[in-house]
Structure 1
Amino acid sequence: MIKILQEIILDFQEIEVFSGIPRHLDVTPLHGKATVCIGVRRSGKSTFLFQLMQGLLGKGVIRQNILYLNFFDDRLHGLQQSGLGVILDAYYSLYPDKKNSEKVYCFFDEIQAIDGWEPFVDRLMRTENCEVYITGSSARMLSKEIATQMRGRALSWEVFPFSFREYLDYLGLDGGDGVLSTKQRLFVQNAFEQYWEAGGFPEVASLERHLRVKIHQDYFHAVLFRDLVERHDISHPKALTDLAHWLVDNTASLYSLNKLTGYLKSLGHKVPHSSVADYLAWFEDAYFLFTVRLFDASLSRANANPKKIYCIDHAMVTSVSSGILVNTGHLLENLVFTALRRVTPDIFYYKTKGGREVDFIAQWQDRPRLLVQVCETLVNPTTRKREIAALEEAMMELNLPTGIIVTRQEEEQMVLKAGTIEVIPAWRFLLYNPPFLY
């Protein structure tokens, strides 16, 4: 195993590191803490590690002081038996003079593939002169359990597929800092239409539709079978796949545990409620599908009510879904959800005392709550009246002076009794709203 590790370490030091488009992710390594980057597979976590490496090289760190391992490499399968401690043996047998004398920068990609990684990294942080950077595709790496096993020696950041601003960077366009010229605005609006079609996964950003669809479907199956079936040893993989398809087909729609269990039963799957609940939790753990609960002070009431489902990427929905139930309004709502989810996990839907629904209420620490309604167009008078009434009623009940309606194209400002409602086109919302995000 040591010889294999030495080859992998030396091979990486000889290749040119591809750093891609710089991400809008402000990761600040702290002394004594491992830097953990987590997110859905293929979101750009490995490339982000390479960007961090490039930053170190730019500060004068030499390549020999950078140790990189990708634990999805088949050659590292034997580490499960030999233990992770052999990594240090392999590295310091190559560079014995560096032991305790020079800082080593350890980059471990998808380390959750190896059981027992937490005590290894904890020991590394305690006993070696090193900085540790880790990626993983499991939200479990944010959990209190991991924090306990790591004795507080880890700080986590989430990595999502390209935001719209990062997509503009990919296209070489300037998103501005609040005000755009007419020419800039036209370029940005055209870029939004491309983003609407392509989504945020970096690998598919410039591909033709048929290739994008194929790759999205490959991602879908990789998440299901590598991040769920294999990781959790699921005994009913067909039930899991059927459930995933139903949820993607019903993006931005309400579901209940009873409804999902009944649906699987209708297909001949004998899966109990508890297993369906586990599947839903594991979808979210893999950063693939997200559940949004009703906003309620009582957690039991929130859990008793139907929940809404969203996907990590709106374009992936179009590539994977049957196309029967998902419409452009659902995709727009999904797009707004992912924009909010990048900056806070505390997102709910709201139901007024009069039974009207607002799509999102988002919470940030030390900031006012944000109410967001999503509507493709307000041209229809009935739709307009319904969406405004729901948002205004929620603003009054929650004592919030502002609310937002995100549309595809429309833009206006309404001053009502409850406060101000900003109607914002999706491209502008992704760039500038909420204002404190940028």
Structure 2
Amino acid sequence: MTSGNQLIETIKSIILDFQDTPLETGVPRRLRIETLHGKATVCIGVRRSGKSTYMFQVIQRLLEGGVSRQNILYLNCFDDRIHTLQQDNLGLITEAYYSLYPEKKNTETVYCFFDEIQAIPGWERFIDRLMRTEQCEVFLTGSSAKMLSKEIATQMRGRALSWEMFPFSFREFLDYKGIESEGALSTKKRFLVQKAFEAYWETGGFPEVAGLGRNLRIKTHQEYFHTILFRDLVERHDVSHPKAVTDLAHWLVDNTASLYSVNSLTGYLKSLGHKAPKSAVSDYLEWFEDAYVLFTVRIFDPSLARRNANPKKIYCIDHALVTSVSSGMLVNSGHLLENLVFTALRSLYPELYYYKTRTGREVDFIVPMRGLPQMLVQACESLANPQTRKRETAALGEAMAELKLTTGTIVTRSGHERIEVDGGTIEVVPAWRFLLDLPESTG
């Protein structure tokens, strides 16, 4: 039997196995992915954020809507049995499927799900061809931001709509816990929500770790981190000095919610004996962001040159991952709160900046919409200390005046109040309330 025939037989058995396997649909996600006929639906995000489970939820809805299980073709592209699939033999997938169901070709819609498609080189042309020549709807998942529409538009000629998936939001975590979060909260319900927030604070949003004890959670988080670094960075980009990448990643996690510059990072790696030039460090930072594990936030400034020249801030995909992976010497709960606020905002708004007032005071987050500043958010664990209170409100008040905004928000671990400042109001809200008040999506 030729290797092509062998591969066809393997793909056939994978398709049939999936059709016989009960679907693990997990907790329904609040992500509203809309499909558009003629375009591939792409779901991207960090590994283990629940993309595959979400696809199973989509499949479940199709089955409930009357689609036959035989009309569903699902392939996990990380399956070792199909590691020989390359650009030139991807057509074997459809060959295998239609050899099982020849009567469906060009007569029935086939729903094709390709999980972690970026594992297969040259996938874009295959998907483009599939959508042009076969009667099918295509769903893809991947853990690379390069799969955002603008990146793949050239290869797929605009035949894709991309959506980002993050680990559980606090609202989704409440769904997982079976706690109702809609509408007005009674005293009892508020107590349950606050208790659940403490659990969310400990475990973070990765679905798999939600029910685990501390030791298993830390072990699982560390496993995620290493897999992301090696599969999504070292292997994907064929990095010749993997130790430089892992040392940099650990430094960044240790310095979550802190400022950095490429020069300082290059100097740090040099001090460890790594010969990584500035250009390599810039690449690494881009790759971390591409894998949805570490994110860079720039200063808010109309000038792109100044945005790039100023120090940048680093955040991680999940505040609890930081706790599990960092050495613990530099990260404090104030940094973790700021990181929690970052991920909540970033999952809704792709563009986030920090703001510096004319007198040099800093506000953690500014959310622009259509280029205009709309929301100012400061994260501060507690305002109990009078100096802290003065510093945080002065920075926010100044920024509000400069940007002509009448409201600003300070997110704390607990406490709720309104502070009047010149020309506006600062809302101080506990983190759990802030997370529930955010929109579910920005549609």
Q: Same fold (TM over 0.5)?
A: yes
Matching of residue 150 in structure 1 with residue 156 in structure 2: yes
Residues of 2 paired with 1:221 and 1:363: CA distance? 34
**For residues 97 and 75 of structure 1, do their structure 2 counterparts lie closer, same or farther at Cα, with a shift above 3 Å needed?**
same
Q: CA deviation at 1:416?
A: 2.1
1:220 aligns with 2:225: yes
Cα deviation 1:64-87 (Å, max 9, x = unaligned): 000000000000111127521110
In structure 2, C-alpha distance between the alignment counterparts of 1:361 and 1:138, rounded to whole Å: 25
305, 327, 333: which one aligns with 2:310: 305
Conservation of the 8 A alpha-carbon contact between 2:411 and 2:429: yes
Matching residue of 1:98: 104
Output one character per residue of 1:212-243: Cα deviation in whole Å (capped at 9) or x when no partner: 00000000000000000000000110000000
* Aligned CA distance change for structure 1 residues 231 and 436 (closer, same or farther; 3 Å): closer
C-alpha contact 2:149 2:160 (8 A) present in aligned 1: no
Q: Which residue of 2 aligns with 1:79?
A: 85
Quick check: 1:44 aligned with 2:50? Answer: yes
Corresponding residue for residue 4 of structure 2: none
> How much has 1:373 moved relative to structure 2?
0.5
**Letter paired with 1:187:** L
Q: What SS does the corresponding residue of 1:106 show, helix, strand or coil?
A: strand
Which residue identity does 2:128 align to in structure 1? D
Matching residue's letter, 1:94: L
Residue in 2 that maps onto 1:63: 69
Matched residue, 1:21 = 27
- Partners in 1 of 2:140 and 2:80 — Cα distance? 18
- Residue 186 of structure 1 and its aligned partner are, at CA, apart by 0.2
- Of 340, 343, 353, the match for 1:335: 340
Number of the residue aligned with 1:279: 284
Say how many residue pairs are matched. Answer: 437
Residue 3 (structure 2) aligns with: none
Indicate which of 144, 147, 159 corresponds to 1:141. 147
Alignment of 1:113 with 2:119, yes or no, is: yes
Shift in Å, 1:142 = 0.8
TM-score, scaled relative to structure 2: 0.97
Match of 2:179 among 157, 164, 173: 173
Please state how far the C-alpha of 1:144 moved relative to its aligned partner: 2.7
Give 1:371-386 correspondences, 5 Å limit: 371-386=376-391
Tell me which amino acid in the other structure corresponds to 2:422. Answer: K
Alignment partners' CA distance in 2, 1:12 and 1:364: 43
Q: Out of 112-121 and 414-423, give the one that drifted further.
A: 414-423
Which residue number corresponds to residue 185 of structure 1? 190
Alignment correspondent of 2:264:
259
Show CA shifts across 1:319-340 (max 9, x none): 0000000000000000000000
**2-side partners of 1:146 and 1:401: how far apart?**
40
Tell me, which stretches of 5 or more residues in structure 2 are unaligned?
Answer: 1-6
Contact 2:357/2:402 (8 A) holds in 1: yes
What SS is found at the alignment partner of 1:79? Answer: coil
Aligned partner of residue 369 in structure 2, secondary structure: coil
Tell me: CA distance 1:129–1:143, structure 2 relative to 1, closer, same or farther (3 Å). Answer: closer
Distance 1:429 1:322 in 2: 29
Q: CA deviation at 1:368?
A: 5.7
The answer to whether structure 1 residue 422 and structure 2 residue 427 are counterparts is: yes
How far residue 434 of structure 1 moved from its aligned partner, in angstroms, is 5.9
Q: Which amino acid in the other structure matches residue 379 of structure 1?
A: A
SS of the equivalent of 1:354 reads coil
Q: Distance in 1 between matches of 2:275 and 2:385?
A: 45
Contact 2:43 2:142 in 1 (8 A): yes
Give the whole-Å Cα distance in 2 for the aligned partners of 1:437 and 1:123.
32
Secondary structure of 1:369's counterpart equals strand
CA contact (8 A) 2:112 2:139 kept: yes
* DSSP 3-state at the match of 2:378: strand
Instruction: Verify: 1:369 aligned to 2:369, yes or no.
Output: no
The one-letter code matched in structure 1 to 2:236 is R
Q: Provide the alpha-carbon RMSD of the alignment.
A: 1.3
Letter in 2 for 1:413: R
Q: Report deviation, 1:427.
A: 0.2
Offset of residue 289 of structure 1: 0.1
Q: Shift in Å at residue 145 of structure 1?
A: 3.6
Q: Quote the offset at 1:176 in angstroms.
A: 1.9
AA at the equivalent of 1:258: N
Match of 2:133 in 1: 127
Structure 1 equivalent of residue 405 of structure 2: 400
Residue 186 to residue 263, structure 1, CA distance change in 2 (3 Å)? same
- Please tell me whether residue 357 in structure 1 is matched to residue 362 in structure 2: yes
Offset from partner CA, 1:374-396 (integer Å, 9 cap, x none): 10000000000000000000000
TM-score, with length taken from structure 1: 0.98
Q: Whole-Å Cα distance in 2 between the matches of residues 309 and 207 of structure 1?
A: 27
> How far 1:143 sits from its partner (Å)?
5.2
| 2:188 counterpart letter in structure 1 | K
Cα distance in structure 2, aligned partners of 1:168 and 1:138: 28
Alpha-carbon distance in 1 for matches of 2:362, 2:87: 53
